[in-house]
Structure 1
Amino acid sequence: MKKNQQMKKRKKMLYELMCCKEYQPMRAKELAILLQIPSGKREELHKILDLLLEEGKISINKRGRYEAVRKIEKKKERVKEQETQREEIFRKGHCYTGTFISHPRGFGFVQVEEMEGARDIFIPEEGIGTAFHGDKVQVVVTKEEKDNKRCEGTIAKVLERGMGEIVGTYEKSSGFGFVVPDNQRLLRDIFIPQGKSMNAEKRDKVLVKIQDFGSRNKSPEGKIVEILGKPGEKGLDVLCVAKSHDLPMEFPEKVLNQAERIKETLNEGDFYQRLDLRDVVMVTIDGEDAKDLDDAVSLTKRGNLYELGVHIADVSNYVQYSSALDKEALKRGTSVYLVDRVIPMLPKKLSNGICSLNAGEDRLALSCLMTIDEKGKVIAHKIAETVIRVNERMSYTDVKKILLKEDETVTERYKDLVPMFFQMGELSQILRKRRKKRGSIDFDFPESKILLDDMGKPVEIYAYEHNVATELIEDFMLTANETVAEEYALLGLPFLYRTHENPDGEKIEAALSLVHQAGVKVKKAKENIAPKEIQKILKELQGMDCEPFLSRLILRSMKQAKYTVDCTGHFGLAAKYYCHFTSPIRRYPDLQIHRIIKENLRGKMSEAKIRHYDQILEEVARQSSAMERRAEEVERETVKMKKAEFMKQHVGETFEGVISGVTEWGLYVELENTVEGLVHVNTMTDDYYTYDREQYLLKGDMTKKVYAMGQKVKVRVEGADIQTKSIDFSLEREE
């Protein structure tokens, strides 16, 4: 009798445990461990579980775990209730499709392309549902925009998962494990069941494939598919960022085999029906460490006319349409240049070998030969399949030294080429002047150059400025790109263009309001602003303290350039026609238009070919634009990460900087070496500061101190977080 009562009591206790809100379904073995029942005394537990199953109070789910039926019913009721609520919201509200962007603090936003000019939709924590950062979702607006507050919504449905694999740190537990995502926007750890860890060890960096995205009350579940390395290993940090964006690190074997079969030398048969330019003096001009040299330039002058040749590696001769090489190149879209490595679009056998315009070697090219007058206008041109031989591999540094007469030794070494370089410098200035006259906008922000030691640790960061040599090549490439785009736009053949739309009206309006407050006159034609007006504003801002901030604000108000099949012009360059023709080794659109140009030059652009290109080019444009965005994001993230790692070595030190941004939560300060950090407003203890949203100012209530963009300040490095890629400063107290 006593035994029956004890059994009844234990049965009730076990059932109540399973009904608890905190209880997660478990196997019998896990329950025994939880209840601290020794392995030899678990028979009674199995009997109780069997009784509860017979009575219909509990059930076994498809993963072999026990859970209370009442809890399941409640859960079903709750889910049904939520669905009803969602349906009601869905019925009443405006529905949009967009991308969910999660915030580390639990809420998120949905970016909706169709809501032109509108701000993102705010999603409170309770409205996220099962959405993950990057998912394509259907969102319903529950509160309209009011009193300068964003409109609010709830996610009705996840249409497409944005990420299937996640990089993180493996944490081991008894019989199972979990992965803590590196991405701070992924708010939940990934549960790793027994047998799905690939024997990863604690703190290993891993790549996990999500198999179940979970629910509000259930963790996502996955399996480890790759162990990336252990903390501190050289290059692991950059590898993790690359992997988290699904960047392919290795080429498939089929692609490598195809590249291996390509011969490394040319013979006379390869030159058939090509214009032979091997006697034309030409050079490549690149950075010292460049390996993939895909453009060469030549120049002669007859009276007031310049004969400029831009010669581009004929990559399409080796990468045939729809081959394994071509499919992989389209999948990658672009080469990615990270702080410690290059992830190429094509295997090195091609990019650094037969497709690289190495000095002294015969190479196949597609050349744009232009006649340019003394005002910089292209008065005649010819695009031709050619064979070339580069005379000299030049660096930007040496060409700059020659043009600025900085080094007699370098000038003497290249004395035979020096007259051509000075003519190139002359033409470059003419082309740049012409471009500026029509309104081309030049945002001259210094790039960050990060030097790493043998272990991949940052030892120096400095601003890398453009010089006369980099500008020279830029001017020549832009001219060739415009010339090619104009010819094919006028021909009306299917083509890929590089287009840049007019700025977002609301954003440019806000930026120009601040420009006006800074004392710069602004003229606008109705709703639109001309590139020339922006150019004029940037010129007037030069030398002002607020120049860096306002220039960046204007830049951010502009839309991103992209690839399209329609020639709608390039706002930033003030160009009616523009395409990417000059880098087929590292950009897929260039490779694609080379094929079109060659089909046309050979007289093979039949109706069938036109239909073929009409069918494929939209997708090529979409994929290329998407892969370009991905590359930019990874490049930006790795730079921010290395900056944080560098500043971690300088905690406690003082630096001079310029306020580059003002927000309600503090001041962003940029140092001379391009590193940017945040001074949190709650660390500014000398006063209570309020944020002036209209003028982007922080104002002290008692001291009347004002902090504004462009103001010079001294800051102390308080901390740097490599994981979040953030740097914290504090203002140095004034004496």
Structure 2
Amino acid sequence: MDNRSLEEKKKIIYEFICDTRYVPMKQKELAVLLQVEKERRAELAQALEALLAEGKIQLSKRGRYSKAEAKMVTGVFTSHAKGFGFVSVEDQEEDIFIGEDDTKDAFLGDTVQVALKGKSGGKRQEGVIVQVLSHGITEVVGTFERSKSFGFVVPDNQRITRDIFIPLEYTKGAVTGHKVVAEMTDYGAGRKNPEGRITEILGHGNDPGADILSIVRAYQIPMEFPERVLNQAKRNAKPVSEADMQGRLDLRDEVCVTIDGEDAKDLDDAVSVRKEGENYILSVHIADVTNYVQENSALDWEAFLRGTSVYLVDRVIPMLPHSLSNGICSLNAGEDRLTLSCIMTVDPKGKIIDHTIGETVIRVTRRMSYTSVKKILEDRDEAECREYEELVPMFEEMDKLAGLLRRRRRKRGSIDFDFPESKILLDELGLPAEIRPYERNTATRIIEDFMLAANETVAADYYWQAQPFVYRVHEKPDAKRLHKLGLFLQNFGYSLRVGGDEVHPGEIQKLLDRLEGTPEEAMLSRLTLRAMQKAKYSTDCTGHFGLAADQYCHFTSPIRRYPDLQIHRIIKENLRGRLDVGRTEHYETILPQVAKHASETEQRADEAERETEKLKKVEYMEQHIGEIFEGVISGITQYGLYVELSNTVEGLVHVNSLEDDYYEYADDAYELRGQRSKKVYRLGDRVRIRVKGTDRLCRTIDFELALSTGE
């Protein structure tokens, strides 16, 4: 070989190998035909190794090189507003990059066949879409625009890169500005736009609630219950009778309470704590929803379809009809209710040393709110303590017990990502009147600790019984992500101890403890969270990394989560001695699909909830354009600074708006540096910003810097 670059050598060799005049040949034969001198064959070997690594050529068992046969995979296509896209393949960590010229007119959500190419820059796998196998999106939600001879829908989803053409005869009377649902009739090819027909008008874009409804429909979240489901729920929602209570442990005389938010209506858990010698007896009572939702009934199939209740800023879309979720299945104070209970004995060190799981009947003593319990335990509010005088000693014991459980969990390495959630208050028109952080307090932590204890206890019980079950699993972080995070943390003077390719969850918690109270806490904590895998449902008990738990499940919310409902059935059949070979095989057959579908509907709900929050934050800041706020730099990129306000709203200060200097992004230190002034913007810096503008369609907020707080 001569003095050509490695890329030039690779090109020559690849074209030579691909030439059909030559059969597959060994390296020595290639060297002869390419006229490579003996002393330069190391360069040939280097180029061949690079081509093999990129997947462009292949090596047979006999040591012969030939053009690689394109490896085909199947996955789901996600388009990007800039034209390129990605294909996600099941059980494959990294998505496949699809260049703008290689998308073959695939539409967002399509299931496609992809031929793999080399890796871009040696990093990301690239591919070419060969064939669209099926379309995943059949409806598009957007804003209708009408012209003289046709209409079109501008999709709300920015990843749908082309407008949907609507012939006039299929506009259903929509006018410009209407939020609509368009059924896809043609997905378009080449320069031709996709086509559709209007099937539903959601209202004008400015109508109260139309914006949230558009998001609900875009995510295909079912809202209205079919008539037969409502009728069945109404028939089943009968008061608890003596016959219902037969064979159950009667705990109606036990003092127990529900503790929820003031506006909660589906109260599916009640708790009680008492001392027995030096030990605590913790009882967690969960509504026995399966008593009213029979397997394979219309109610059951509807609950499976929905998978979860969806909590949006202006509404709750329940998994079960209100006659059940807010009625007979809600643990209302003073009323007899059927429950499944996990009664745990906890020693003074916070270890659960014994437990019982059983069918029970309870009568809640008082309905409590997080606010009231906080006032009693944190604020020592005299009026509140008088109001609940007979319960105050139990709340104090609850606080002590929750602390013991929490410390024991932290000691084994459980991670606590404590990010402030947003509390968005709307006015009567559905407009955001106030946004503030929704902070955890003593009361919320007590319930979290008790529910975690019950979930873990139930999961361990059924794991050791080797019964079919649905677990909540959280896999260990990917080794590549961990090493990348570790290198990044070093820029800020932090380290993450990784043993081989693994990290103990306790090391993550130690890092979070060190970050607490620092300017970079929010950003580095979020980056650490992104390095984690997503939790999901599974029939295989692989453990929960974040909680440092060997076994974990979701047992405590059958009103709003289908996996909880499903495992309640298993528990009851097991308690009644009915989990025979036939029923075991039945559950082993259906549970993998239950786990998969529940994980998918959970993700759908999470995304819809995030989108509604982003939208309302944009609407809120629209009311404050031109106003000045103080915030903290929460992120830095080459195109600007992200600033988070105290109310959790985040916006971008674009680098082009920094007119006092030319700023360059230093990725090694995660800073923006002024070329002339040497001024530096760092994570955690407090700055004053002016609200510059908003974009409802993109759901983005633009800020510009006002005077620094230090000036």
> What SS class does the counterpart of residue 585 from structure 1 fall into?
coil
- Choose 1 or 2 for highest CA Rg: 1
Q: Which residue of structure 2 lines up, in the alignment, with residue 612 of structure 1?
A: 586
Are residue 320 (structure 1) and residue 294 (structure 2) matched?
A: yes
Are residue 488 (structure 1) and residue 465 (structure 2) matched?
A: no
Taking the aligned partners of 1:496 and 1:291, their CA distance within structure 2 comes to 27
Contact map agreement 1:137 1:156 (CA 8 A) in 2: yes
Are residue 711 (structure 1) and residue 685 (structure 2) matched?
A: yes
Structure 2: runs of 5+ lacking an equivalent: 1-66
From 689, 695, 715, give the equivalent of 2:669: 695
Q: Which residue of structure 2 lines up, in the alignment, with residue 536 of structure 1?
A: 510
> What SS class does the counterpart of residue 236 from structure 2 fall into?
coil
> What SS class does the counterpart of residue 474 from structure 1 fall into?
helix
Contact map agreement 1:98 1:137 (CA 8 A) in 2: yes
What does residue range 31-50 of structure 1 map to in structure 2 within 5 Å? none
Letter in 1 for 2:535: A
Q: Which portions of structure 1, spanning 4 or more consecutive aligned residues, are displaced by more than 4 angstroms? A: none
> What SS class does the counterpart of residue 211 from structure 1 fall into?
strand
> In structure 2, do the counterparts of structure 1 residues 701 and 93 end up closer, same or farther at CA, with 3 Å as the change threshold?
farther
Taking the aligned partners of 1:708 and 1:347, their CA distance within structure 2 comes to 50
Letter in 2 for 1:647: M
Taking the aligned partners of 1:691 and 1:93, their CA distance within structure 2 comes to 39
Q: Which residue of structure 1 lines up, in the alignment, with residue 308 of structure 2?
A: 334
Deviation at 1:224, TM superposition (A): 1.2
> What SS class does the counterpart of residue 524 from structure 1 fall into?
coil
Q: Deviations over 1:247-298 (max 9, x none)?
A: 1111111111111212431111111111111011100000000000000001
Deviation at 1:524, TM superposition (A): 1.6
Q: Which residue of structure 2 lines up, in the alignment, with residue 224 of structure 1?
A: 198
> In structure 2, do the counterparts of structure 1 residues 270 and 673 end up closer, same or farther at CA, with 3 Å as the change threshold?
same
Q: Which residue of structure 1 lines up, in the alignment, with residue 182 of structure 2?
A: 208
Q: Deviations over 1:555-578 (max 9, x none)?
A: 011010000001110000000110
Taking the aligned partners of 1:438 and 1:142, their CA distance within structure 2 comes to 45
Contact map agreement 1:249 1:343 (CA 8 A) in 2: yes
Taking the aligned partners of 2:81 and 2:147, their CA distance within structure 1 comes to 25
Are residue 182 (structure 1) and residue 159 (structure 2) matched?
A: no
What does residue range 100-499 of structure 1 map to in structure 2 within 5 Å? 100-116=77-93, 118=94, 120-146=95-121, 150-499=124-473
What does residue range 620-699 of structure 1 map to in structure 2 within 5 Å? 620-699=594-673
Deviation at 1:300, TM superposition (A): 0.8
> In structure 2, do the counterparts of structure 1 residues 694 and 156 end up closer, same or farther at CA, with 3 Å as the change threshold?
farther
Taking the aligned partners of 2:122 and 2:657, their CA distance within structure 1 comes to 29
Taking the aligned partners of 2:143 and 2:497, their CA distance within structure 1 comes to 54
Deviation at 1:91, TM superposition (A): 7.6
Taking the aligned partners of 2:380 and 2:345, their CA distance within structure 1 comes to 31
> What SS class does the counterpart of residue 376 from structure 1 fall into?
coil
Structure 1: runs of 5+ lacking an equivalent: 1-89
Taking the aligned partners of 2:131 and 2:351, their CA distance within structure 1 comes to 55
Contact map agreement 2:115 2:127 (CA 8 A) in 1: yes
Letter in 2 for 1:368: C
Deviation at 1:137, TM superposition (A): 2.1
Contact map agreement 1:482 1:579 (CA 8 A) in 2: yes
> What SS class does the counterpart of residue 261 from structure 1 fall into?
helix
Q: Which residue of structure 2 lines up, in the alignment, with residue 560 of structure 1?
A: 534
TM-score by length of 1: 0.85
Letter in 2 for 1:643: K
- Which range is displaced more, 153-162 or 581-590? 153-162
Q: Which residue of structure 1 lines up, in the alignment, with residue 54 of structure 2?
A: none
Q: Which residue of structure 2 lines up, in the alignment, with residue 37 of structure 1?
A: none
> What SS class does the counterpart of residue 422 from structure 1 fall into?
helix
> What SS class does the counterpart of residue 197 from structure 2 fall into?
strand
Are residue 594 (structure 1) and residue 568 (structure 2) matched?
A: yes
Taking the aligned partners of 1:398 and 1:199, their CA distance within structure 2 comes to 52
Paired positions, count: 643
Taking the aligned partners of 1:408 and 1:422, their CA distance within structure 2 comes to 15
Letter in 1 for 2:451: M
> What SS class does the counterpart of residue 541 from structure 2 fall into?
coil
Taking the aligned partners of 2:681 and 2:134, their CA distance within structure 1 comes to 44
Contact map agreement 2:334 2:364 (CA 8 A) in 1: yes
Q: Deviations over 1:424-464 (max 9, x none)?
A: 00100000000000000001110001111100000111111
From 94, 99, 118, give the equivalent of 2:76: 99
Deviation at 1:134, TM superposition (A): 2.3
- Which range is displaced more, 657-666 or 425-434? 657-666
Q: Which residue of structure 2 lines up, in the alignment, with residue 87 of structure 1?
A: none
**Aligned-CA RMSD value:** 1.5
Taking the aligned partners of 1:246 and 1:605, their CA distance within structure 2 comes to 36
- Which range is displaced more, 589-598 or 151-160? 151-160
Taking the aligned partners of 1:346 and 1:122, their CA distance within structure 2 comes to 40
Letter in 2 for 1:557: A
Contact map agreement 2:642 2:652 (CA 8 A) in 1: yes
> What SS class does the counterpart of residue 232 from structure 1 fall into?
coil
Letter in 1 for 2:326: N
Contact map agreement 1:135 1:158 (CA 8 A) in 2: yes
From 692, 699, 705, give the equivalent of 1:725: 699
Q: Which residue of structure 1 lines up, in the alignment, with residue 16 of structure 2?
A: none
Taking the aligned partners of 1:439 and 1:422, their CA distance within structure 2 comes to 26
Taking the aligned partners of 1:720 and 1:439, their CA distance within structure 2 comes to 42
Deviation at 1:486, TM superposition (A): 0.3
Taking the aligned partners of 2:395 and 2:662, their CA distance within structure 1 comes to 59
Contact map agreement 2:555 2:567 (CA 8 A) in 1: yes
Deviation at 1:115, TM superposition (A): 4.1
Contact map agreement 2:617 2:649 (CA 8 A) in 1: yes
Contact map agreement 2:491 2:668 (CA 8 A) in 1: no
Contact map agreement 2:143 2:205 (CA 8 A) in 1: no
Taking the aligned partners of 1:271 and 1:663, their CA distance within structure 2 comes to 61
Deviation at 1:114, TM superposition (A): 4.5
Deviation at 1:172, TM superposition (A): 2.1
Q: Which residue of structure 1 lines up, in the alignment, with residue 52 of structure 2?
A: none
* Identity level (%): 58
> What SS class does the counterpart of residue 142 from structure 1 fall into?
strand
Letter in 1 for 2:404: I
Deviation at 1:208, TM superposition (A): 0.8
> What SS class does the counterpart of residue 120 from structure 2 fall into?
coil
Deviation at 1:175, TM superposition (A): 4.4
